[in-house]
Structure 1
Amino acid sequence: MSGGVQNLVISLGAMQLARRIPFDDPVTLNYVRAGYVTVQLLVLLTYYYVSTKIKAKNDLTVLKYVEPASPMSGGEGTLVTTTVRDYDLGQTSSGLKGVYTGVAMMAVMHIYFHFTQPLFIQSLMGLKGLYDAKVVAIHLLGKKPEGDLQRPFKAASMFGATAGPQTDAAAIAEAEKRVGKKDD
């Protein structure tokens, strides 16, 4: 089952479970709030720990790939030359931005609009997102960067198709030629 379908199933199951929780009880609501804050702190601390492990490994292996252009631009992809260390730190940073965005949205939804069920659901989804993070799988869980975890990471869609950067030699050579022509 793809990650998008798993997220959908977990969300729907969590919504059904959340309906049975008495959120109008202040004690229960405080427990749910504490659980949400605990999960978010755990996720933030895990990303911090992963970033320190990435910096400690200091893998300076060169990584070249062609980042596809956005579908609306109609342009060609851009050549990216980086190191494994910088790529993994970038992925960790984007994971952190996702956590910060989620916390900000949840703060608005809970404090301003007084929604309580999303606190419970997002607690579960935060843990699921952490487990699905490929940098976490490589640097914390000790999985080898092969197959699905091979850099640069490919993004899986909800229906199982994968899309992402091109890593074949022909695409990289073509992008290098384009970059060379622009410099002249």
Structure 2
Amino acid sequence: MSAFSNIAISLGAMQLAKKIPFEDPQILLFLRIGYVLAQLVILYAYYHVSNVIKQKNDQTVLKYVEQPAPFSQEEPKLVVTTVRDYDLLETSKLLRGAYMGIGTMAIFHIYLHYNQPLFIQTLMGLKNLYSAKPVSIHLLGKAAEGELKRPFQSPGMFGAAGNLQTDAAAIAEAEKRVGSKKDD
């Protein structure tokens, strides 16, 4: 659903952006102000989510098995963390993504003089903020179940399942591997 909505919003925004006269300095100023305000809202929301996570301080243990990259010689890795640390890590990833987007947009807009991406990225940034799982749980108050169950599964290629296993058998097998390596 998220990938489809990203494509739909991008295509819709591109069609709408074709009708905006970006050469008009007044419109360009409003577009820049809108983009900066949207980015400030996004950054503030992620920082606020981080603070909410720290205040909740959920020390519930979270175990899962992270699969290696395809065609890699590595073994699956057992991850043992807390809900607090996991949510902070996920929020940190979102924050880094926002910073990368701002940097990329600065290059496109300031150095390459592309104006249309400002409009599209304003909409996409706000859409991504709304659909971010830590934001859904900690700001919007949704229950951490179903699609929001930790660890968050990211869809693989062509909608395949993610690369995290939470079943007891996979965790037990990974714990045995870790235990046998400690004995060596």
What TM-score comes out, normalization by structure 1 length?
A: 0.96
Asked if the contact 1:3–1:158 (Cα under 8 Å) also holds between the matched residues in 2, the reply is no
Shift of 1:157: 4.7
CA RMSD of aligned residues (A): 1.1
Q: Please say if residues 64 and 82 of structure 1, whose CA atoms lie closer than 8 Å, have aligned partners that are also in contact.
A: yes
Q: Within 5 Å, give how 1:101-180 maps onto structure 2.
A: 101-157=100-156, 159-180=158-179
Match of residue 95 from structure 1: 94
Residue 3 of structure 1: CA displacement? 0.6
Structure 1 CA distance for aligned equivalents of residues 156 and 78 of structure 2: 23
Aligned to 2:3: 4
Deviation track 1:118-175 (CA, whole Å, cap 9, x = no partner) reads 0000000001100110000000000000111000000125754331310001000111
- Counterpart CA distance in 1 for 2:102 and 2:157 is 23
Q: Which runs of 5+ in 2 are unaligned?
A: none
Greater CA drift, 66-75 or 97-106 = 66-75
Q: What amino acid does structure 2 have at the position aligned with 1:166?
A: Q
Count matched residues. 183
Tell me the distance in 1 between the aligned counterparts of 2:172 and 2:31.
53
What letter is aligned with 2:51?
A: T
Distance in structure 1 (CA, Å) of the matches to 2:110 and 2:76? 42
The corresponding residue for 1:65 is 64
Q: Is the 8 A contact 1:61 1:84 kept in 2?
A: yes
Cα deviation 1:79-119 (Å, max 9, x = unaligned): 00000000000000000000000000000011110000000
- Which letter maps to 2:126? L
Instruction: Tell me which residue corresponds to 2:80.
Output: 81
Give me the whole-angstrom Cα distance separating, in 2, the residues matched to 1:58 and 1:36: 33
* Cα displacement (A) at 1:76: 2.1
CA distance in 2, matches of 1:162, 1:178: 24
Identical amino acids, percent of aligned pairs? 62
TM superposition shift of 1:75: 2.5
Q: Which runs of 5+ in 1 are unaligned?
A: none
Distance 1:87 1:164 in 2: 16
Partner of 1:45: 44
Larger relative contact order (Cα-Cα within 8 Å, sequence gap ≥ 6): 1
For the structure 1 residues 144 and 49, does the alpha-carbon distance in structure 2 shift closer, same or farther, using more than 3 Å as the test? same
Scaled by the length of structure 2, the TM-score of the pair is 0.96
